[in-house]
Amino acid sequence: MENWVLVRKGGDFQKLGEKFGISPRLAALIRNRDITEEEMEAYLFPDKKYLHDGAQMKGMKEAVSLLQEKIERGARIRIIGDYDIDGVNATYILLKGCSFLGAKVDSDIPDRMTDGYGISRDLIDRALKDGIDTIITCDNGIAAEKEIRYAKEQGMTVIVTDHHEIPYEEQAGEKQYRLPPADVVVDPKREDETYPFSGLCGAGVAYKLLEVLYKATGADRRVLEDLLENVAIATVGDVMELQGENRILTKEGLSRLKHTKNPGLQALFRKKEIEQDRISSYTIGYVIGPCLNAGGRLRTAKKTLELLLAEEEERAGELAEELAELNEERKAMTEAAVREATERIEAKKERQEKVLVSYLPDCHESLAGIVAGRIRERYHRPAYVVTKGKEGLKGSGRSIPAYPMYERLSLCKDLLIRFGGHKGAAGFSLEEDKLKAFENRLENTSGLTQEDLAEKVCIDMELPFSEVTETFVRELSLLEPFGQGNQKPVFGVRNVRVMGARLLGKQKNVLKLMLADQRNTWIDGLCFSRTEVFLKEAEEKYGEQAEEVLFAGQGTMKVDLTFYPQINAYGGRMQPQIVITHFRIRDPE
């Protein structure tokens, strides 16, 4: 059951509007994001001048000094990344940045199926065979204590750059954090960290390393600016919170992506028919991001890295085509896995589990995180999806705000072979005979209440349809980029008449409603999800003929809605419309 809450943060919105040159309504929306008056200028006008000096990060000066020494004496350096969108972009950033300084540098990315996550003994052995002196990890390494100890025993230098949670053990009720035995560890989530912002992705940490390195060497830091494109892609694609430095880095990167000179990205934009001047965080999260992730999910992430590194247009086009096709294959596989997981959950719904664990032995292990995310969205519960690998089981989890996933997995570490992650998502592996005990432990240690499990729909303000204007929609763009931690504002309206309806799209899965509010202002509303639920509830409350009456344009039902306003520019006409995010169908009067 959804809990609709109207957010009311205080403030002199008229005064704030005059101070920052915005409407009082927009000032109220920003305050609802817990942005103070002192923080409002940086929020409204994010600029690189508000970024922190990466040298403040623990281990950063030592890492730069060591790396500078290795570059100067021509030591062979290998970047070891991860196979997801963050890890690949972090690898690309370090490769390009170090190469420009003349470093003898190459890269390796683990194969999801054969190597598993992050740096492994096999990757270290490959590096040894190739005569590598120094390994730099990016987006991994913080939990690889055994592997890094092995590398050190072989005489290698290891620099860890990561952004994941630091592993810990509880002793006498206190957490004892364990850093890997690398030469240097750079991770903004270190327990002893004093850096002002801990929410960077792996690519963000890699970029900070290069900034400090370039300053130390006296190199032209302007050459790094194009790499902000990759920081933005990784930040949005890895679903980091778009607050603080992430908001600035993403906005800067999106601005550059609109004019990117990267042949691989240009080819992918052409393949997906993306207008570069309209690229947004949505484009990354839902269009190009899944394609960039598809290589690491179904084949090898090295294909994605090759796309980013491509210099010839023809080869870039071939790689973009291949990754786009892989993503289509991935989507079909995902839908099948979601259906199976949903059926299993519905079959045991009477158990009223607070934590959902779905064992899908035939699901491709790379899809576990996506499927877990879809299950979490549907049931508003922490969701884990477990698949069967060549050696034991592998799984991924996606969480809700009230459930710190990494901490809860830490309570199961005696059952797990390996695990890592953060409060919102995690990955793990375990032996098959431990699965039942794992499920029970998660359920018994969830700490969740029924209130935690009720989806909370926060409404920023009530907005009559007459206020959905081109001017207001344009002003809302000042709140962008939207994403995790900086969601689109949610508006509400009560007692709306639904005058008619149509189904749109190739799959007939978009519901277009003709709406009129209490002031009798008419507007079109688009419902992109839960269309079947809407029609089913309409039939339950208004009778079997409800759907037929709606599609005939003779509707009389009333609803409460939450929505986001936009302008439909189809055919050159600027027409206000709304995108419906939640609905409640009222009982007949």
For 464-557, strand residue ranges (E) read 491-504, 510-516, 522-527
Q: Is the pLDDT of residue 570 over 70?
A: yes
Report yes or no on 68 lying in a domain.
yes
Residue 19 covered by a domain? no
Residue at 178 is within a domain: yes
Confidence at residue 335, expressed as pLDDT on a 0 to 100 scale: 94
362 and 500 inside one domain: no
Q: Please report the pLDDT score of residue 572 as a whole number.
A: 73
- Whether 563 is in a domain gets the answer yes
Tell me the C-alpha distance between 525 and 439, whole Å: 42
The answer to whether 267 touches 317, Cβ cutoff 8 Å, is: yes
28 Cβ contact partners less than 8 Å away, ≥ 6 residues apart: 9, 11, 13, 460, 461
Lowest-pLDDT range of 125-139, 284-298, 479-493, 571-585: 571-585
Sign of CA dihedral 198, 199, 202, 205: negative
Picking from 144-158, 232-246, 560-574, which range would have the lowest pLDDT averaged per residue? 560-574
DSSP letter assigned to residue 502: E
pLDDT tier, 117 (very low <50, low <70, confident <90, very high otherwise): confident
Report residue 575: phi and psi, to 5°: -115, 120
Q: Which amino acid is at 434?
A: K
Indicate whether 215 and 105 sit together in one domain. Answer: yes
Q: What angle do CA 331, 337, 338 make, to 5 degrees?
A: 90
Question: Does 548 map to a domain?
Answer: yes
* Interval 181-192 mean pLDDT: 97
* Confidence bin at 388 (pLDDT 50/70/90): very high
Among the listed residues 290, 258, 305, the one whose alpha carbon sits nearest the alpha carbon of residue 277? 258
Same domain, 449 and 470: no
| Pairing state between β 491-504 and 510-516 | antiparallel
Is residue 572 assigned to a domain? Answer: yes
Residues 106 and 147 in one domain: yes
- Residues with Cβ < 8 Å from 586, sequence gap 6 or more? 495, 541, 557, 558, 559, 560
Burial class (CB in 10 A: 0-12, 13-18, 19+), 126: middle
Mean pLDDT of 302-324: 97
Ramachandran angles phi, psi of 19, nearest 5°: -65, -40
CA distance 276 to 260: 9
| 527 in Cβ contact with 549 (< 8 Å) | no
Residues 203 and 165 in one domain: yes
Which pLDDT band holds residue 1 (cuts at 50, 70, 90)? low
Average pLDDT on 326-354 reads: 91
Range of the domain at 384: 348-453
Going by their DSSP bridges, the two strands 383-388 and 356-359 should be labelled as: parallel
* Residues 172 and 58 reside in one and the same domain: yes
pLDDT over 70 (residue 325): yes
Backbone angles phi, psi at 231, to 5 degrees: -65, -45
User: Which distant-in-sequence residues (6+ apart) come within 8 Å of 13 by Cβ?
Assistant: 24, 25, 27, 28, 31
> Which CATH number covers residue 75?
3.90.1640.30
CB-based contacts of 130: which residues, under 8 Å, 6+ apart? 76, 78, 106
Note whether 85 and 234 are within 8 A (CB): yes
β-partners of residue 493 are 561
Distance separating alpha carbons of residues 416 and 423, to the nearest angstrom: 18
Mean pLDDT confidence for 451-455: 90
Whether residue 233 sits in one domain with residue 99: yes
CA–CA dist 417, 319 (Å, integer): 35
Residues 70 and 214 in one domain: yes
The residue to which tokens 């099948």 are assigned: 336
- Whether residue 13 lies inside any domain: the answer is no
Say yes or no to pLDDT of 324 above 90: yes
Residue 2 pLDDT greater than 90, yes or no:
no
pLDDT of residue 502: 94
Percent of the chain with pLDDT over 70: 100
Residue 312 DSSP one-character state: S
Predicted pLDDT at 555: 83
Which CATH number do you get for residue 552?
Answer: 2.40.50.460
Highest-confidence segment of 79-93, 418-432, 535-549, 559-573: 79-93
Strand partners of residue 396: 385, 427
Question: Residue 446 is part of a domain; what is its CATH number?
Answer: 3.10.310.30
Domain count of the fold of the chain: 3
User: In Å, how far are 96, 231, 256, 359 from 238, measured between CA atoms?
Assistant: 21, 10, 19, 24
Distance of alpha carbon 425 from alpha carbon 522, whole angstroms: 42
Q: In whole angstroms, give the CA distance from residue 545 to residue 550.
A: 9
What is the predicted pLDDT for the residue at 422?
83
62-80 in b/e burial notation, b at 16+ Cβ within 10 A? ebbebbeebbeeebebbbb
One-letter amino acid for residue 467 of the chain: E
437 and 545 inside one domain:
no
Within this chain, do residues 233 and 209 fall inside the same structural domain, yes or no? yes
In 401-492, alpha helices (H): 405-410, 435-444, 450-453, 470-476
Which residue among 207, 237, 267 closes a domain?
237
Q: How confident is the model at residue 389, as a pLDDT?
A: 83
Point out the domain boundary residue: 237, 263, 295. 237
Residue 167: asked if its preceding bond is cis (omega within 30°), the reply is no
pLDDT above 90 for 509: no
Residue % of the chain over a pLDDT of 90? 86
pLDDT, position 508: 86
How many Å apart are CA 237 and CA 180, to the nearest integer?
A: 27
439 and 354 in a single domain? The answer is yes
**DSSP of 252-302, one letter per residue?**
HHHHHHTT---HHHHHHHHHTT--GGG--HHHIIIIIHHHHHHHHHHS-TH
Which residue among 213, 237, 261 closes a domain?
A: 237
- Please write the tens of the pLDDT for every residue from 272-304: 999 999 999 999 999 999 999 999 999 999 999
Per the prediction, the chain carries an average pLDDT of 94
- Please report whether residue 360 resides in a domain: yes
Q: What is the mean pLDDT of residues 221-243?
A: 95
Is 295 exposed, middle or buried (CB count within 10 Å of its CB: 0-12, 13-18, 19+)? Answer: buried
Question: Using one digit for the tens of pLDDT, what is the confidence trace for 81-115?
Answer: 999 999 999 999 999 999 999 999 999 999 988 88
Q: Mean pLDDT across the stretch 177-203?
A: 97
Residues 445 and 463 in one domain: no
